[in-house]
Amino acid sequence: MRSLALFGFTLCVCLFGSEARIYGRCEFARALANLGVPRNQIPTWTCIAQKESNFDTAARNWSSGDHGILQISQIYWCTEGGGPGKGCNTECWRFRDADIVNDVRCAQKVYNEHTRLSGDGFNAWTTYKYCRGDMSQWIQGCF
């Protein structure tokens, strides 16, 4: 019976994508750099990720409908249970797995749209109020 339960868990993981993970501060900052995020934005993104999700890719805010390490909103940017769609053309659950490539790409899209609208793309995240100004301490010792 135990092996059957283990098989079920393994099957579930295989069918529903990679497991979530919790990043370290520097690990997340380096991942952003590897994905081509401008170096001057990495400290702010790192602060936002810590404040939004504590670097947990599985984070979900049931009240607001935000998903993943950067808390992408299902109101405008991802679709919950209805196939790809909305601004990032992605299903919301994809922001809650270990792969942060789509999270970062979508966050950049959100950032660019809010830069166009307000002049500061980080304004899209409510936690930005804690991440303004010199955030260099967020990447200290990481590179």
Active site residues: 52, 66
Query: Token pair of 99, please?
Result: 């792969």
- What are the residue ranges of helices labelled H in 16-85? 25-34, 42-53
Angle between helices 25-34 and 42-53 (to 10 degrees): 130
Residues 6+ positions from 42 with CB-CB distance below 8 Å: 29, 32, 33, 138, 139
Question: Distance between terminal CA atoms of the chain?
Answer: 48
